[in-house]
């Protein structure tokens, strides 16, 4: 079989575009989607192309965006709507190939190698995909094309988004265009890694591609080789529909509405997080043995916090087991500085229908409690039952029960 044809299809200003489709009065106005301005979540989640012309960028504060464009239209996010449209787009792509792999809510990989006899060459298929998505959802998409996923992704990020037709192919014949770009433009290189690489005298993607591999492996191990392969456009991972079938961990993270300074307050939110992680595990049919817990401090300029994990003697999906493990980590590693956010996850998962029991632990009581909780939540919703501590000023469970990913549905 010849060279593969892989697409990375990205939706332009996805949240903002969906909002413009929902409300046609916003069509020709600068629009940003942002969280509640009264809370810390008041940051820009998405900006439409008109708003971006004023210099507004994703992740800046709402106040900063309004200074750049006082007449900008601010829309609160509707997460369920975005999820629904994303699923609709997946189904559109599946009309062109059965190999569609979601990468994020607004990006999806497609392997169209076997679709060319049906729909034309790679560029014709890309145009047809764009047209169908636009016709059915009102969302404009850009398509990066490559012989593998990493080149398709970098073709989209660095070239297709800047092209008039929103389509670009990147392969070994023109990879030198990628190599001329700053190292910070490479997929997988964040600000911290960029500083490290610049400190080594590597300023461009080409500089990394031509850097001696043994040096990178000595410094970063397998991650050094991954960086080198990415710079050289090497990627052996296939587009697969099974990417999300086997979950590696179940977690929940929360950015707090204010600085939490006391152990009592943090303890309340930690219990809520553990309850949600346990509920999600049961919903997915998992138990886990490794509890990970992380805290981030409130000072952006001098960030504090920790991230630690502990392995339990036996697998669990009971919230108090997870909480007790995370709470011990909190007591040991928290520096008593104000906390801005915290997250808990359970990993090393296994199916919950077959597990070893502990004769010295009342597992039947735990199973009965779990079952009772889940029946009530499934029937009446997440606000039907929670611990009394969540009714205090520190509690967040009631409000977050009506949100998706920390944002209103």
Q: Per the annotation, where are the binding residues for Mg(2+)?
A: 10, 106
Q: Does the pLDDT value for residue 75 go beyond 50?
A: yes
Q: Is the dihedral of CA 189, 195, 198, 203 positive or negative?
A: positive
Same-domain check for residues 255 and 320: yes
Whole-angstrom Cα Rg for the chain:
24
Same-domain check for residues 160 and 200: no
Residues involved in catalysis: 107
Q: Does the pLDDT value for residue 205 go beyond 80?
A: yes
pLDDT at residue number 40:
46
End position of a domain, from candidates 134, 167, 200:
167
pLDDT at residue number 368:
72
Same-domain check for residues 286 and 358: yes
Write the CATH number for 263: 3.30.1490.100
Alpha carbon distance 205, 176 (integer Å):
9
Q: In the chain, how many domains are there?
A: 3
CB count within 10 Å of CB 381 equals 11
Q: Does the pLDDT value for residue 408 go beyond 70?
A: no
Same-domain check for residues 253 and 359: yes
**pLDDT, tens digit, for every residue of 354-405?**
655 565 566 667 777 777 777 777 777 766 677 767 677 666 665 655 555 5
Is residue 57 included in any domain, yes or no?
A: yes
> Tokens 């014949």 appear where?
173
Q: Of 68, 78, 64, 61, which is closest to residue 30 (Cα–Cα)?
A: 68
Alpha carbon distance 151, 371 (integer Å):
47
Write the CATH number for 208: 1.10.150.20
Same-domain check for residues 123 and 192: no
Same-domain check for residues 196 and 87: no
SS3 6: strand
Look up the domain containing 80 and give its range: 1-167
Is residue 243 included in any domain, yes or no?
A: no
Those residues whose C-beta lies under 8 Å from the C-beta of residue 316, and which sit 6 or more positions away, are 278, 287, 288, 289, 322, 346, 366
Contacts of the segment 236-240: beta carbons below 8 A, 24+ positions apart = 236/148, 237/148, 237/149, 238/111, 239/6, 239/99, 239/100, 239/101, 239/109, 239/110, 239/111, 239/149, 240/99, 240/101
Same-domain check for residues 207 and 309: no
Is residue 237 included in any domain, yes or no?
A: no
Is residue 238 included in any domain, yes or no?
A: no
Is residue 73 included in any domain, yes or no?
A: yes
Q: Is the pTM of this model over 0.75?
A: no
């Amino acid at each position: 079989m010849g060279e593969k044809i892989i697409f990375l299809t990205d939706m332009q200003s996805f949240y903002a575009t969906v909002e413009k489709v929902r409300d046609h009065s916003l069509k020709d106005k600068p629009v940003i989607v942002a969280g509640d301005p009264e809370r810390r979540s008041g940051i820009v989640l998405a900006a439409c192309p008109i708003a971006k012309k004023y210099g507004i960028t994703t992740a800046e504060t709402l106040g900063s965006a309004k200074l750049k464009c006082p007449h900008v239209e601010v829309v609160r996010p509707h997460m369920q709507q975005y999820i629904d449209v994303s699923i609709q787009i997946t189904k559109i792509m599946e009309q062109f190939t059965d190999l569609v792999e979601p990468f994020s809510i607004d990006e999806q990989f497609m392997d169209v190698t076997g679709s060319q006899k049906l729909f034309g060459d790679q560029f014709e298929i890309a145009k047809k995909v764009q047209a169908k998505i636009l016709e059915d959802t009102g969302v404009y998409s850009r398509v990066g094309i490559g012989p593998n996923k990493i080149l398709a992704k970098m073709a989209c990020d660095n070239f297709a988004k800047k092209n008039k037709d929103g389509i670009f192919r990147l392969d070994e014949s023109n990879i030198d265009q990628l190599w001329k770009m700053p190292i910070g433009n490479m997929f997988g290189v964040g600000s911290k890694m960029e500083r490290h690489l610049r400190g080594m005298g590597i300023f461009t993607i080409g500089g990394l591609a031509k850097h001696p591999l043994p040096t990178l492996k000595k410094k970063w191990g397998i991650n050094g080789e991954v960086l080198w392969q990415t710079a050289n456009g090497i990627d052996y991972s296939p587009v697969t529909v099974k990417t999300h079938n086997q979950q590696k961990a179940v977690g929940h993270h929360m950015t707090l509405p204010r600085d939490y300074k006391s152990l009592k307050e943090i303890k309340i939110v930690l219990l809520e997080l553990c309850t949600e992680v346990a509920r999600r595990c049961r919903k997915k049919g998992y138990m886990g043995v490794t509890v990970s817990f992380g805290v981030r401090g409130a000072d952006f300029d001098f960030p504090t916090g920790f991230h630690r994990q502990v392995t339990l003697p036996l697998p669990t999906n009971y919230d108090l087991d997870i909480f007790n493990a995370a709470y011990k980590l909190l007591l040991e590693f928290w520096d008593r500085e104000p906390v801005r956010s915290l997250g808990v996850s359970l990993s090393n998962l296994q199916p919950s229908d077959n597990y070893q029991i502990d004769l010295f632990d009342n597992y039947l009581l735990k199973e009965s409690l779990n079952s009772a909780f889940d029946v009530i939540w499934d029937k009446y919703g997440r606000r039907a039952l929670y611990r009394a501590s969540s009714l205090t000023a520190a509690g967040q469970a009631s409000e977050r029960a009506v949100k998706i990913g920390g944002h209103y549905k």
